Amino acid sequence: MDKKEEIELISGVNVLKCMRCGKCSGTCPSYDEMEYHPHQFVYMVETGNIDPLINSESLYRCLSCFACVERCPRGVEPAKVIEAVRLSAIRQKGANHLKAEQVPELIDDDVPQQLLVSAFRKYSK
């Protein structure tokens, strides 16, 4: 299975449904922090240009807020594509993006516990 098929399988997204309106990137709250934006994730998966995505920090800048999923007029679900690329990267590296010993330095008094739980879930599959 090539990378593209793998990502389509994990995400369950048909990237061909995209009509390239850019509403996902128009709505994205993390846009400025991302090297590759939601619409680029969808397009680059469609063209099979996936390696730059896997090596990009953008994967970990997506908040998984799902605003793009909620607002996409074509039901493409870009956040699921990003999630799938993230999973694919983690599987490929065989390593976690977030290690347990890093956690204490990331914590301050304002961090809700729920964030830690969801961060582990998201970054250490």
Partner 1 sequence: MQRIGVFVCHCGTNIAATVDVKAVAEELKNEPGVVFTADYQYMCSEAGQNLIQDTIRNERLTGVVVCSCSPRMHEATFRKAAAKAGLNSYMVEVANIREQCSWIHKDKVSGTEKAIILARAAIAKVQLNAPLTPGQTPVTKRALVIGGGIAGIQCALDIADAGYEVDIVEKKSTIGGKMTQIDKTFPTLDCASCILTPKMVEVAQNEKIHIYSYSEVEAVTGFVGNFDVKIRKKARYVDETKCTGCGECTTKCPMKKIPNEFNMGFDNRSAIYIPFAQAVPKVATIDPDHCNMLKNGKCGVCAKICTANAIDYKQQDQIIEEKYGAIVAATGYNHIDVSKYDEFAYNQSKDVVTSLEFERLMNAAGPTGGHLKRPSDGRDPKTIVFVQCVGSREAPPCAKGGKEYCSKICCMYTAKHAILVKDHYPDTNVYVFYIDVRTPGKLFDEFYRRAVEQYGVHYIKGMVGKVAPQGDGTLMVQASDLIANDQLHIKADMVVLAAAIEPDKSARHLATMLTASMDTNDFFTEAHAKLRPVESPTAGVFLAGVAQGPKDIPETVVQAGAAASKVIGLLSKDQLTGNPCVANPDELMCNGCSSCEKVCPYGAITYADKEFRQPDRTVAIRRVAQVNPAVCQGCGACTVACPSGAMDLKGFTNKQIMAEVDAICR
Distance CA 114, CA 117 (A): 5
For partner 1 (CB under 8 A), the number of binding residues is 22
CB-nearer residue toward partner 1: 31 or 92: 31
Distance CA 47, CA 29 (A): 25
State which of residues 7, 11, 39, 41 lies at the interface with partner 1 (CB under 8 A): 39
CB-nearer residue toward partner 1: 15 or 90: 15
Which residue's entry shows tokens 């991302």?
Answer: 34
State which of residues 7, 13, 15, 24 lies at the interface with partner 1 (CB under 8 A): 24
Window 59-118: residues binding partner 1 (CB under 8 A): 67, 71, 73-76
Please give the single-letter amino acid code of residue 25: S
Do residues 125 and 87 make contact, with C-beta atoms less than 8 angstroms apart?
A: yes
Crossing angle (nearest 10°) for helices 78-93 and 3-11: 120
E strand residue ranges, the chain: none
Specify the stretch interacting with partner 1 by CB under 8 A; choose among 2-10, 21-29, 49-57, 91-99: 21-29
Do residues 98 and 24 make contact, with C-beta atoms less than 8 angstroms apart?
A: no
CB-nearer residue toward partner 1: 43 or 123: 43
Specify the stretch interacting with partner 1 by CB under 8 A; choose among 31-39, 89-97, 100-108, 114-122: 31-39
**Binding stretches for partner 1 (CB under 8 A):** 17, 19-28, 31-32, 37, 39-40, 67, 71, 73-76
